[in-house]
Structure 1
Amino acid sequence: MLTKSRLFLVFIGIMMVLAWPFVGKSGTFLVYDSSVSIFLDEDDVLHPYLYTGTGGARTVRVCIDPTSPFGTQMVPSLRAAIQNINTLQHSTENLVDPSAEVPASSNDFYSVALHELLHCVAGVGHVNFDSQVVGDLPSYSTNSFGGADGALSLTPGGDGTYGTADDARGDDINLFWFNRGLNDPYRVLPTVDETTYSRAAVDLPSGHSFAANGNFIAAGFAGFPNLKPVMEVASFPGTEVRTLAPDDSVNLRYGTTGLDEIAGTSDDYSLLVEFGGVSTAGCHVLVRFAAQSPDFLAGCETQAIAIQPGARHFRLAGTGEIRFNSTKRWHFYAVSVFSDGFEAGDTSAWASTVP
Structure 2
Amino acid sequence: MNILVWRSLLTWLPKAVIGITALTTVTPAYPGVFMLAEKLADRIGPNVITHPTGYRGAGRVLFVTVGIASSTSLNDVRKMWVPVLNAIKTWNDLVPTLGNVHKTGSNVPPDQFDFESVLLHELGHCIGLDHPNLASESGLQGVQRDYTKTTRGADGVYNLDPGMDGVIGSHEDLRGDDVNLHWFRRDNNNPFTIAPRVDRTTYGRELFDLPPGHLFAANANLGVANLLGLGNSEAVMQQGISTGEAQRTLSPDDVATLRLAMSGFDGLAGTADDYTVVLEFAGPTDDADIVLHFDNEETTFAACEIQAVEPRPGHFVITRGNIFFRDDVAWFFNPEQAGGPPMPEVFANRLSGSATVSQREHLLLEVSLFPNAGLNKPADYWVRAVTPMGVFWLNERFEFVRSDQAVRVYGGPLIFIDRLPILNGSASGLPLGEYRVTFAVDNNEDGLLDGSFQDSVEIVVVP
TM (norm. structure 1) is 0.88
Letter in 2 for 1:320: G
Give 2:265's match in structure 1, choosing from 259, 268, 280: 259
Aligned residue in 2 for 1:178? 184
Contact residue 92 and residue 245 of structure 1 kept, 8 A: yes
Letter in 1 for 2:50: L
CA deviations on 1:33-69 (whole Å, 9 max, x unpaired) are 63x7674211021111111111111111000001124
Give 1:94's match in structure 2, choosing from 85, 92, 100: 100
Aligned residue in 2 for 1:26? 31
Letter in 1 for 2:334: Y
* Higher RCO structure, 1 or 2 (CA under 8 Å, sep 6+): 1
Aligned residue in 2 for 1:3? none
Aligned residue in 2 for 1:290? 295
Contact residue 37 and residue 181 of structure 2 kept, 8 A: no
Once the two structures are TM-superposed, the CA of residue 181 in structure 1 deviates from its matched residue by 2.7
User: Which secondary structure does the structure 1 equivalent of 2:304 belong to?
Assistant: strand
Which segment is superposed worse, 159-168 or 212-221? 212-221
Once the two structures are TM-superposed, the CA of residue 276 in structure 1 deviates from its matched residue by 0.4
Runs of 4+ in 1 over 6 A off after TM superposition: 342-348
Question: What are the equivalent positions in structure 2 for 1:149-164 lying under 5 Å apart?
Answer: 149-164=155-170
Question: What are the equivalent positions in structure 2 for 1:1-355 lying under 5 Å apart?
Answer: 8-14=15-21, 17-20=23-26, 25-31=30-36, 34=39, 39-69=43-73, 70-120=76-126, 122-131=127-136, 133-281=139-287, 283-292=288-297, 296-308=300-312, 311-317=313-319, 319-337=320-338, 349=369, 353-354=374-375
Once the two structures are TM-superposed, the CA of residue 32 in structure 1 deviates from its matched residue by 8.0
Change (3 A) 1:342 1:78: farther
Which segment is superposed worse, 332-341 or 65-74? 332-341
Contact residue 175 and residue 199 of structure 1 kept, 8 A: yes
User: Any stretches of 5+ residues in structure 1 without a counterpart?
Assistant: 1-6
Contact residue 19 and residue 302 of structure 1 kept, 8 A: no
User: Which secondary structure does the structure 2 equivalent of 1:249 belong to?
Assistant: helix
CA distance in 2, matches of 1:114, 1:197: 24
Identity %: 33
Once the two structures are TM-superposed, the CA of residue 8 in structure 1 deviates from its matched residue by 3.0
Once the two structures are TM-superposed, the CA of residue 324 in structure 1 deviates from its matched residue by 1.1
Change (3 A) 1:73 1:187: same
Change (3 A) 1:345 1:333: farther
CA deviations on 1:147-174 (whole Å, 9 max, x unpaired) are 1112111211111110000001001111
CA distance in 2, matches of 1:20, 1:30: 14
Once the two structures are TM-superposed, the CA of residue 354 in structure 1 deviates from its matched residue by 1.0
Aligned residue in 1 for 2:414? none
Change (3 A) 1:253 1:341: same
Aligned residue in 2 for 1:4? none
TM (norm. structure 2) is 0.68
User: Which secondary structure does the structure 2 equivalent of 1:248 belong to?
Assistant: helix
CA distance in 1, matches of 2:228, 2:346: 35
Letter in 1 for 2:133: N
User: Which secondary structure does the structure 1 equivalent of 2:15 belong to?
Assistant: coil
Change (3 A) 1:342 1:128: farther
User: Which secondary structure does the structure 1 equivalent of 2:306 belong to?
Assistant: strand
CA deviations on 1:87-125 (whole Å, 9 max, x unpaired) are 1101012111124311111110000000000101x1100
Contact residue 19 and residue 304 of structure 1 kept, 8 A: no
Aligned residue in 1 for 2:421? none
CA distance in 1, matches of 2:146, 2:198: 24
CA deviations on 1:285-326 (whole Å, 9 max, x unpaired) are 1001122588x3212101110113xx2111001x31101122
CA deviations on 1:165-194 (whole Å, 9 max, x unpaired) are 000100111111111131111110100000
Change (3 A) 1:336 1:99: same
Contact residue 138 and residue 155 of structure 1 kept, 8 A: no
Letter in 2 for 1:275: F
Once the two structures are TM-superposed, the CA of residue 130 in structure 1 deviates from its matched residue by 2.2
Contact residue 220 and residue 238 of structure 2 kept, 8 A: no
Letter in 2 for 1:333: N
User: Which secondary structure does the structure 1 equivalent of 2:264 belong to?
Assistant: coil
Contact residue 67 and residue 281 of structure 2 kept, 8 A: yes
Once the two structures are TM-superposed, the CA of residue 131 in structure 1 deviates from its matched residue by 4.1
Contact residue 38 and residue 181 of structure 2 kept, 8 A: no
CA distance in 1, matches of 2:196, 2:321: 32
Contact residue 20 and residue 135 of structure 2 kept, 8 A: no
CA distance in 2, matches of 1:327, 1:215: 29
